[in-house]
Structure 1
Amino acid sequence: MRDEEDEVVPATVVIREYDPKTDRDGTDAVDRDCEVGPGGGMSLHADLLGDPEARIRRSPRYIMLVAETSGRIVGLIRGTVKSVATGESRPGAPAFANVGYILGLRVAPSHRRMGIALLLVRQLERWFELMGAEYAYMATDRSNEASLRLFTARCGYSKFRTPSLLVHPVHSHRLRAPRRATVVRLGARDAERLYRSRFAHVEFFPADIGDVLDNALSRGTFLAIVDKGGYEWRGVDRFLSSPPASWAVASAWDCGGVFRLEVRGASRLRRAAAAATRALDRVVKWLRVPSVPDFFRPFAGWFVYGLGGDGRDAAVAAEALFASIVNMARGAAAAVAVEVAALDPLRSRIPHWRCLSCAEDLWCMKRLGGHADGWDWARSAPGRSIFVDPREV
């Protein structure tokens, strides 16, 4: 989210629900004005493939609000509501809560410091409460001081979790995976049973995991096994009753079906250097050149979700999974990403490029009004794992 601290609100500003028949051009203009990037004159452009609601449409309940003044759209915000695990232990079953997720908050540069972002957030929070949400949360870059001031100082959010976003480019050559790991593909129903059995207590695990796995953008679920005894996959029932010594599981999501990214403003020298690495990689794949994909034209990305495992060599299994998914993405995506909790032991073996990754993202959370009694998830200590819903990427 990229917004400046807000101050004086114009009296003519109206916050209303997005109308796809009349508002598309206006919201596209705001998104273009708010491009962000790595600096050095470059910016990262995201194209939602002509559908401003594409990032939220696959969630069970969603809304998009716009801020309008004098017939012009100057701000927008998106939000979803779903039921997720809180990580709290309760007798008999994991604890779930309804949460609202804030994403895509934008205010046109010409209308910042006018209170518009604050109006959008408060209106969205009211909708969250109408939908039965107990909490609201958002994710941002730690360096985005304006967004942090808005949410923590003015809207009452607390700094909640600091996961890492790890990104690896997709090369012409195959990424090497540990040979002692065996990777098998799971059917959607087996994957759902495994996730519900082993991950239902993990923070943000979605109650509708079956819908996520069945989504057309989900490219499959994979299980990596590391077992010196030669463990053989014989179905999820045997796995749950007698798991291997070490294992990891993860699913892949094709973000390219929702949006395309593009780095703009790169110099000719940078473009030429990147193209040279790709050409060399195509000609002599055996050299395993760390080539730079063509990020300077619209490209698709894949996201790895539901990563978790158990056993002494679970991190090795996770490395095999991630490498397998990167290899599977060749020809379909330019990069593959995964987001892992700060304390997740699997993160140590995940292949990634530091220059493309974010070592410490920041999630902020707020307990909404009317839910002030008892345990407060927003102030709880972080766990070892976190389940990142691919629909919110």
Structure 2
Amino acid sequence: MEELGVMVVREFDPEKDCLSVEEVERRCEVGPCGKLSLFTDLLGDPICRVRHSPAFLMLVAEMGEEKEIVGMIRGCIKTVTCGKKFSRNGKNGNDPTKPLPIYTKVAYILGLRVSPSHRRMGIGLKLVRRMEEWFRENGAEYSYIATENDNQASVKLFTHKCGYSKFRTPSILVNPVFAHRVPVSDRVTVLKLTPSDAETLYRRRYSTTEFFPRDIDSVLNNKLSLGTFLAVPRGTYSRESWPGADRFLLDPPESWAVLSVWNCKDVFKLEVKGASRVRRGFAKTTRIVDRALPWLRLPSVPEVFRPFGLYFLYGLGGEGPRAVKLTKALCAHAHNLAKESGCGVVATEVSSCEPLKLGIPHWKRLSCPEDLWCIKRLGEDYSDGSVGDWTKSPPGSSIFVDPREF
């Protein structure tokens, strides 16, 4: 426990802090480029957004004799890929021409909130510094955060006061879930992989991708992971003839694509605030028409002015000349899954130069073309290999976004 005047920073207590944390969340609008706001229906568990990580902590700041909660922060620690290396002389059975991942222990800050009535008092800075102490105590080598690129207060806090550097600028792509189903091309077969097959594919193809989680098996086997889906040209495989990931990787088709779906709906909800009656009325009209005439496949606006859930797409990858089209088919399949569950949107986050980005449908009004990730080196790099200072490394064409941190 730490004090700064009449302010105390302490660990979150689920038995007494939930309602107060919810109230602060309600007063703090967040979301990509300010278009989406977090609704504080966290299913009675404000720490649930980090609970699925290997190590996690939530802190709150309380002030005054009444011990009013005026801020909070969440953090988690995991091991991820920060670079790659080549094995020497094929030792341990490794192919010397195939890169191997270099792992590092990285911490992630999310959910930093300060009540609007208590800002510019150093509360956010105190919360970040106390969280970083916990990171160091648990062996984290780097800490990073994601914030809106145009959120000047947040950017200034981390880059000017906390010593973080601007690191990556991925894109958050958000697509509405319509009242009609989106057709999946009849030239494509979509297969659902077992968690074991999905792990094999990801580890062999994407373990050297930046931020790839070493515990990918925990992610894929989590109850919030709704499945990993593989798209191949029709006639390549059927559900009955699927040979398994090992044989697939020995002789893959010319083109294929893969993605996994994460159920954020059971973790938090979002809502769009500040919309005029005219916009609300127009959105309602599009939904009525779409439900009445689904065969027209009109792009209706979902009910985003009330709390709604979303599905998050992660682990996007693929190869071959048709990979973009196959990715589009997978997104259509994910859209239909989201429709069946009553979600309002489907979202994903990818590198700004991701080759498969063209196959991901999204609405610009809901999306954020340039999110901002900032990073800080907490100590010496004890990675398995020599990557130098990761904070100074150039970006790759792809990035692996952990759904547990979205």
Identity of aligned residues (%): 55
Q: Does 1:68 align with 2:65?
A: no
- Please give the alpha-carbon distance, in whole angstroms, between the structure 2 residues aligned to 1:236 and 1:200: 15
Query: Could you tell me which residue of structure 2 aligns to residue 4 of structure 1?
Result: none
Unaligned runs of 5+ in 1: 1-8
Equivalent positions of 1:34-73 (< 5 A) are 34-36=28-30, 45-70=39-64, 71-73=67-69
Query: Could you tell me which residue of structure 1 aligns to residue 357 of structure 2?
Result: 347
Letter of the 1:273 counterpart? F
Equivalent residue in structure 2 for 1:97, among 101, 104, 110? 104
Q: Does 1:252 align with 2:265?
A: no
Per-residue deviation, 1:130: 1.1
- Please give the alpha-carbon distance, in whole angstroms, between the structure 2 residues aligned to 1:120 and 1:306: 31
- Please give the alpha-carbon distance, in whole angstroms, between the structure 2 residues aligned to 1:317 and 1:144: 35
Per-residue deviation, 1:287: 1.0
Deviation per residue, 1:236-287 (Å, 9 max, x gap): 1211111110111100011011112222333332222111101110111111
Per-residue deviation, 1:35: 2.0
- Equivalenced residue count is 384
Per-residue deviation, 1:296: 1.7
- Please give the alpha-carbon distance, in whole angstroms, between the structure 1 residues aligned to 2:354 and 2:198: 21
Query: Could you tell me which residue of structure 2 aligns to residue 6 of structure 1?
Result: none
Task: Say which SS state the counterpart of residue 330 (structure 1) adopts.
Answer: helix
- Paired residues of 1:181 and 1:225 also in contact (CA < 8 A): yes
Query: Could you tell me which residue of structure 1 aligns to residue 340 of structure 2?
Result: 331
Q: Does 1:222 align with 2:218?
A: no
- Please give the alpha-carbon distance, in whole angstroms, between the structure 1 residues aligned to 2:133 and 2:32: 34
Per-residue deviation, 1:370: 4.0
In 2 relative to 1, CA 67–303 (structure 1 residues): closer, same or farther, beyond 3 Å? same
- Paired residues of 1:41 and 1:265 also in contact (CA < 8 A): no
Q: Does 1:118 align with 2:128?
A: no
Query: Could you tell me which residue of structure 2 aligns to residue 5 of structure 1?
Result: none
Per-residue deviation, 1:69: 1.5
- Please give the alpha-carbon distance, in whole angstroms, between the structure 2 residues aligned to 1:324 and 1:171: 13
- Please give the alpha-carbon distance, in whole angstroms, between the structure 2 residues aligned to 1:291 and 1:262: 17
- Paired residues of 1:178 and 1:316 also in contact (CA < 8 A): no
Query: Could you tell me which residue of structure 1 aligns to residue 403 of structure 2?
Result: 390
Per-residue deviation, 1:374: 6.2
Q: Does 1:206 align with 2:213?
A: yes
Query: Could you tell me which residue of structure 2 aligns to residue 107 of structure 1?
Result: 114
In 2 relative to 1, CA 204–43 (structure 1 residues): closer, same or farther, beyond 3 Å? closer
Stretch deviating more after TM superposition (302-311 or 83-92): 83-92
In 2 relative to 1, CA 272–367 (structure 1 residues): closer, same or farther, beyond 3 Å? same
Q: Does 1:379 align with 2:392?
A: yes
- Paired residues of 1:44 and 1:264 also in contact (CA < 8 A): no
TM-score by length of 1: 0.93
In 2 relative to 1, CA 64–179 (structure 1 residues): closer, same or farther, beyond 3 Å? same
Per-residue deviation, 1:90: 4.4
Stretch deviating more after TM superposition (257-266 or 188-197): 257-266
- Please give the alpha-carbon distance, in whole angstroms, between the structure 2 residues aligned to 1:345 and 1:40: 27
Query: Could you tell me which residue of structure 2 aligns to residue 274 of structure 1?
Result: 283
Letter of the 1:265 counterpart? G
- Please give the alpha-carbon distance, in whole angstroms, between the structure 1 residues aligned to 2:261 and 2:61: 35
In 2 relative to 1, CA 150–314 (structure 1 residues): closer, same or farther, beyond 3 Å? same
Per-residue deviation, 1:177: 3.4
Equivalent residue in structure 2 for 1:236, among 239, 242, 245? 245
Query: Could you tell me which residue of structure 2 aligns to residue 366 of structure 1?
Result: 376
- Paired residues of 1:260 and 1:298 also in contact (CA < 8 A): yes
Query: Could you tell me which residue of structure 1 aligns to residue 326 of structure 2?
Result: 317
In 2 relative to 1, CA 89–167 (structure 1 residues): closer, same or farther, beyond 3 Å? same
In 2 relative to 1, CA 302–72 (structure 1 residues): closer, same or farther, beyond 3 Å? same
Task: Say which SS state the counterpart of residue 50 (structure 2) adopts.
Answer: coil
- Please give the alpha-carbon distance, in whole angstroms, between the structure 2 residues aligned to 1:374 and 1:26: 43
- Please give the alpha-carbon distance, in whole angstroms, between the structure 1 residues aligned to 2:111 and 2:105: 20
- Please give the alpha-carbon distance, in whole angstroms, between the structure 1 residues aligned to 2:139 and 2:393: 21
- Please give the alpha-carbon distance, in whole angstroms, between the structure 1 residues aligned to 2:168 and 2:56: 23
Per-residue deviation, 1:14: 1.4
In 2 relative to 1, CA 42–346 (structure 1 residues): closer, same or farther, beyond 3 Å? closer
Unaligned runs of 5+ in 2: 88-93, 95-99
Per-residue deviation, 1:156: 1.1
Query: Could you tell me which residue of structure 1 aligns to residue 91 of structure 2?
Result: none
Query: Could you tell me which residue of structure 1 aligns to residue 143 of structure 2?
Result: 136
Q: Does 1:21 align with 2:15?
A: yes
Per-residue deviation, 1:231: 5.3
Stretch deviating more after TM superposition (230-239 or 244-253): 230-239
